[in-house]
Amino acid sequence: MLKGGIPSHSTSNGKSKEWWQEVDLKSLAGQLKAGKVKPPMLPRSRMQVWFIRASTSIFLWTCLIQLTTLKDIWQPQMLRSCFEQIHPPLPVRSQSTTSPYSPSSGGNLWKGAIASRSPGILGLFSHPVSLVGLYKSNGFLMVSCNGGLNQMRAAICDMVAISKHMNVTLVLPELDKTSFWADPSDFGDIFDVDHFISSLKDDVHIVRELPEEYARMVAEGNYFGLPPVSWSNQTYYSNQILPLVQKYEVVRLNKTDSRLANNGLPLAMQKLRCHVNYHALRFTPRIEELGRRLVQILRGRGPFLVLHLRYEMDMLAFSGCTHGCTDEEADQLTKMSYLRHKVFCRYAYPWWKEKVILSDQKRKDGFCPLTPEETALILRALGYDRDTQIYIAAGEIYGSDRRMAALHAAFPNVVRKEMLLSKEELRPFVNRSSQMASLDYLVSLASDVFIPTYDGNMAKVVEGHRRYLGFRTTILLDRKRLVELLDAYESKQLQWDEFSLAVRQVHEGRMGSPLKRRVVPGRPKEEDYFYSNPQECLCDEPSPSSRTYSRNFSFK
């Protein structure tokens, strides 16, 4: 019989006596001291036993979930990352025109904090239900990039952000081998694959190739492929693309340029794009080493300006610009332009097949790259003298030496990588236009001044990268206004001093200083490109003083 949880004894007459009333306390104390008897144990109730069992089970399961979820944290590399503080807070940027060049310091370029896929110990308790969802991939995403190096570079950044948003496993992107440049380079020939995968492992699961089972599916055609809609936001990928991934398990996105919106995206998605562009996409050691050598040679000769002279056959044919060309050259470009637009427009814009490309009108509207002759006049008007060292970041200039004669006459110190490096050093890059462009990209980042003559993909991406590195001087030429001034000067309507002053005044606020990105609702193509001004990843706010002309054009 229990009384208050303490056992009692029954006597022969049915009356109960408490056990301590029947025991000789002194005798019991002696026996206990001698070890002859053990103290009586108080039995637990069944409810107490089940409560202890349930509590123990809950505790063990909690520990098991924590250990399973946080297993990557105990790896040495992650421990080192914690101590090295891979993601420090954004520092305040300062206006600077030069800084030491270190291509291998790509890991230090990332200044923003990207949320880790591992929620951490605190995250376990605050979001216990969502743990499984964080680590279960919805399927595989294959990506086929198109265009030149920087067009593909921006597309890769977009696709990583999209993969993170849809929680899919990204297969190492495929690079374009069929474009005008016909570069056979793979991703690993240009970018450091190991660094790319490891630096993004806390955000996106990336594999070099599909697992064997899924590779067979793709080989048999059991996957879904499509070009995503241009300038789309995250809702499009959640509502349209993700269901396809979940249904087919493997989805292949082709023609991936400009498939993610400039604006209106979550801050975390914008910062991830920056993380990929300025940290994860590091060139291979061979490219970085040769880029470093080029910069050392140029620095040994003094300050230098990089001129991205986009007067190349593919650009002229694409834009339909023939100003300054001979009749034979104009005819060649016109035919090439017509064929290129016809093939392109049959797919996207059928009404363009009857469109007549008017070169003169396109030039007046500012849609043509400046010619080498026009560029020489503009550089002189901006204040650069004959001693200025100019590095040409471009492919083969259309018209070759004939078109470059005026530029060489005005600036004798015009150099190219082929003039600074030996044939042996450049041999691995022959017929590899994207790898050659990678060298120009590294030199452009390190230059004192960067001037593009056309706002193509390289001009935009380099502009944004130089903003990220501290708003380094980038002179963004206003081609429409410049054409008006050039024509007025050529027709003697303006004297040299008037022309030079007007050119300087036009570019007072076009120096790559902090500036809000332009938003045009409903017209994303007219907006400022995200990669030319990644303002979400920059900490300096535009101020009136930053918009004033404060840079000296001359190296003297």
Q: pTM score > 0.75 for this model?
A: no
Please give the pLDDT value at position 205. 97
Which amino acid, residue 233?
A: N
CA–CA separation, 376 and 389 (whole Å): 13
pLDDT, position 109: 31
CB atoms < 10 A from the CB of 452, how many?
25
The bridge status of strand 250-254 relative to strand 16-18 is: unpaired
Phi, psi of 390 (to 5 degrees): -120, 125
Rounded to whole angstroms, the Cα distance separating 155 from 230 reads 11
For the chain, the first-to-last Cα distance in angstroms comes to: 106
Query: In which element (H, E) is residue 88 found?
Result: none
pLDDT lower than 70: segments of the chain: 1-45, 65-135, 180-181, 327, 330-357, 540-556
Identify the pLDDT of residue 311: 79
- The CA distances from residue 485 to 364, 479, 490, 500, in Å, are 11, 10, 9, 9
Rounded-to-integer distance, Cα 341 and Cα 471, Å: 37
Question: Between the CA of residue 463 and those of 44, 75, 351, 510, 528, what are the distances in Å?
Answer: 75, 38, 34, 11, 12
pLDDT at 27: 57
Per DSSP bridges, beta strands 140-144 and 250-254 are parallel
Cα angle 365, 367, 372 (rounded to 5 degrees) comes to: 110
Counts for the chain of helices (H) and strands (E), in that order: 25, 12
Question: What are the backbone dihedrals phi and psi of residue 363, each rounded to the nearest 5 degrees, phi first?
Answer: -65, -45
Q: What is the pLDDT of residue 313?
A: 74
Query: Position of tokens 């708003």?
Result: 471
- Buried/exposed code over 465-484 (b: 16+ C-beta within 10 A; e: otherwise): bbbbebbbbbbbbbbeebbe
DSSP letter, residue 327 = H
Domain boundaries, the chain: 140-282, 286-537
Cβ contacts of 541 within 8 Å, gap of 6 or more: 514
Whether 103 and 192 have beta carbons less than 8 Å apart is answered as no
The helix/strand/coil state of 86 is coil
Cα distance between residue 127 and residue 313, in whole Å: 56
